[in-house]
Amino acid sequence: MKIKSADFLMSNSSVDKCPSAPFPEYAFIGRSNVGKSSLINMLTSRKSLAKTSGRPGKTQLINHFIINKQWYLVDLPGYGYARVSKKSKKTFQKYITDYFLKREQLIAAFLLIDIRHEPQPVDLEFMEWMGENGIPFAIIFTKADKLKPMAVQRNVESYIQALLDGIWEEAPTYFVTSSSSSYGREEVLNYIENINTSLIKNK
């Protein structure tokens, strides 16, 4: 997919106030520092698009961007480093869970995972929650340039195996990316484009 335009639309904290046009929407979420802003800038080939909404006071919000005047890209707040215990499942603030449960335009979420890290409880719990609620998601492994290719492959395989050893019967769709080298850019954009095209055909 060629990115012809990428514009910041709005930030808000309520799903009811999100833009109403019926464009297909893709949401990006992950732990703080996972590389989400960098990835959004890399995908859109804009140096500081994600920062636009990341200015102070705007980080804890649902940020909408419109891409090619055809689809919405949504930057959701990064969730914290705090380990989630069974008692404190409140890590995902209500407006975020509301967003996923109510946003009709949402086609899929991209859950970002730092390729260097072992599976983290907070990410696994979030995936489980997505699964329970029937919200389609794909994994985007970030920062692939930080490891040698063999280690990238090894980490991806062991991450996916951990999911299969857990609650997942099938491996989710996943992408390996680097915002420094733009590795994986075409794969992610083509995935979105293919879905968008099939939505138009099936209308």
Q: Does residue 35 touch ligand GDP according to CB under 6 A?
A: yes
Please say which residue, 181 or 197, places its beta carbon nearer to ligand GDP. 181
Site for ligand GDP in 72-101 (CB under 6 A): 78
- Are 201 and 194 in contact, with CB atoms under 8 Å apart? no
Q: Considering beta carbons, is residue 50 or 130 the nearer one to ligand GDP?
A: 50
Least distance in angstroms from the C-beta of 64 to ligand GDP: 16
Q: Does 196 bind ligand GDP (CB under 6 A)?
A: no
Q: By CB under 6 A, which span of 35-43, 98-106, 126-134, 160-168 interacts with ligand GDP?
A: 35-43
Q: In angstroms, how far is CA 161 from the centroid of its own chain?
A: 21
**CB neighbour burial string for 181-200, b if at least 16 within 10 angstroms, e if fewer:** eebbbeebbebbbebbeeee
Q: What is the DSSP string of 118-130?
A: PPPHHHHHHHHHH
Residues within window 132-161 making contact with ligand GDP, judged by CB under 6 A: 142-143, 145-146
Given candidates 5, 14, 93, 180, which one binds ligand GDP under the rule CB under 6 A? 180
Q: At what angle do helices 36-44 and 185-201 cross, to 10 degrees?
A: 70
Nearer of residues 36 and 103 to ligand GDP, judged by Cβ: 36
Secondary structure (3-state) at 7: strand
* CA gap 199, 203 in Å, rounded: 6
Binding site for ligand GDP (CB under 6 A): 32-38, 78, 142-143, 145-146, 178-180
